[in-house]
Structure formats: structure tokens, C-alpha cells
Chains A and B, each alone.
Chain A
Amino acid sequence: GQQLNQSPQSMFIQEGEDVSMNCTSSSIFNTWLWYKQDPGEGPVLLIALYKAGELTSNGRLTAQFGITRKDSFLNISASIPSDVGIYFCAGHPSNNAGNMLTFGGGTRLMVKP
């Protein structure tokens, strides 16, 4: 099946630093979604991307749908303590007839005040 390779697996940064994480696949994806999950809660959608090359911002967050349709990145600028959580990329592979979401393994972000 399709796999999404998400990196890094974890990050420990200082408050105020910028953060970058990405997802790559050997398959082409039609959509890319970025979710954040706080401990004990369900994932919350941050940004949805639907076109190759699309660059979308949501406050301090910016995400891009790669031109090759095989990758996406999420940047967080000027991190704050409440950015702590697990970030998941997810997408709909173009060759998945069922159109189910495929998830990356997650990036655990820790922010030191």
C-alpha cells in the first residue's frame, strides 16, 4: 500500500524558533492535509492542499503541495509553547480507488519556553 514518510519523527526546539517538517511518498497524491493532535484529543485539521504547487498559510503555519505531487511540507514560524503536539500529514493517493486517507507517522514537537 501507499506509505507516507514523515520527518523528523520528533523535534525539541526553543520557543521563538521556526520549525519545518515534511512528508514524502513514492506515489502521487491528489490532496495533502496537515493535522495537529494534542495529548488525549483527536486530530485537528490545520491546512488542506488540493493543487500541485499550492502554498497556503494559516496564521504562523504555512504548507505547500509539492510540484511532483509526491511531497508536502509544513512550516511553523516563531514557535510558542502551545505548538506542542504531534503533527500528522495525510493525503489521498491518486491510485487508491477507495480514496481513503493515508497518514504519515507523525512529528512530535516539543517547545522549550
Chain B
Amino acid sequence: DAMVIQNPRYQVTQFGKPVTLSCSQTLNHNVMYWYQQKSSQAPKLLFHYYDKDFNNEADTPDNFQSRRPNTSFCFLDIRSPGLGDAAMYLCATSRGLVGPRGQFFGPGTRLTVL
């Protein structure tokens, strides 16, 4: 089945220790997104890739970076995680920005910062 896969599902890191979260998709969608979701809140968009073009949201901290080496994979790098960065991180994909079936979300990676 075509899907969005996120690894790992749970990640524990130490304060200030860099961490990378990964996302892969078999949908062949050209747009990939990273969202941050804190408890019981709506997902908050961090950035997205439209093909190879990177688009950062204005209020995304510099601490967050992303890489998209090919169509299928996208990575979220947190350079120096703080306690406030503990959250669920969701990857999503779509065909175009207003895809015919909306955005497909992965299962998320829950990040804990000690």
C-alpha cells in the first residue's frame, strides 16, 4: 500500500544533542511537509518542500532544518533540541499544494528531550 513512513516512532534525546527524524513516502507526491504538534493542539507547519524548493515558515526557529535528498525521503534535523521542542513531529505529503485528496500524514515521531 502507498503510504508515508516515519522513523523512528519514538525518539529520546538529550538537551542540546542533535537529532534527525526521517520520513519516506511511496505515493510519489512532489510536496513534503514537516509539522510540529504539541499535546492536543493542531499541527503547526514548520516547512515544506515543493519538489526541490525549500519553503520555511516565518516563525520556524533556526534550530530546525530539513533535507530532501530525493522525491521519496525528507529529513528533519533539530540542531540543539531544547525542552520546548518535545512534541510529536508529523510528516505529510501531497500532490501539489492543493492536492485532490488533501495531505497524507505519516504516523508521527514522538520526541522526548531529557
Q: Would you call B73 an interface residue if the criterion is a C-beta within 8 Å of the partner chain's C-beta atoms?
A: no
B residues at A contact (CB < 8 Å) = 4, 6, 40-43, 45, 48, 55, 57, 90, 92, 97-98, 100-108, 110
> Contact residue range for chain A?
20 to 34
A residues at B contact (CB < 8 Å) = 30-31, 33, 35, 40-45, 48, 86, 88, 90, 92, 98-101, 103-106, 108
Contact present for B102 and A40 (CB under 8 Å): no
Contact present for B108 and A48 (CB under 8 Å): no
Q: Name 22 interchain pairs, CB-CB below 8 A, sorted by A.
A: A31-B98, A31-B102, A33-B102, A40-B108, A40-B110, A42-B6, A42-B90, A42-B105, A42-B106, A43-B105, A44-B105, A45-B101, A45-B102, A45-B103, A88-B42, A88-B43, A92-B97, A92-B98, A100-B45, A101-B45, A104-B42, A106-B41
Q: How far is the CB of B75 from chain A (nearest CB, A)?
A: 17
Enumerate chain A residues within 8 angstroms of B45, measured Cβ to Cβ.
Answer: 100-101
Contact present for A99 and B97 (CB under 8 Å): yes
Contact present for B41 and A43 (CB under 8 Å): no
Residue of A nearest to B104 (CB): A45
| CA distance in complex: A48, B80 (Å) | 38
Enumerate chain A residues within 8 angstroms of B105, measured Cβ to Cβ.
Answer: 35, 42-44
| A100 interface neighbour in B4, B40, B97, Cβ under 8 Å | B97
Enumerate chain A residues within 8 angstroms of B57, measured Cβ to Cβ.
Answer: 100
Known: A33-B102, A105-B41, A105-B42. A41 touches B108 (CB 8 A): yes
Enumerate chain B residues within 8 angstroms of A92, measured Cβ to Cβ.
Answer: 97-98
Known: A86-B40, A103-B42, A106-B40. A48 touches B107 (CB 8 A): no
Enumerate chain B residues within 8 angstroms of A33, measured Cβ to Cβ.
Answer: 102-103
Known: A42-B108, A105-B41. A98 touches B55 (CB 8 A): yes
Contact present for A99 and B98 (CB under 8 Å): yes
| A43 interface neighbour in B6, B40, B90, Cβ under 8 Å | B90
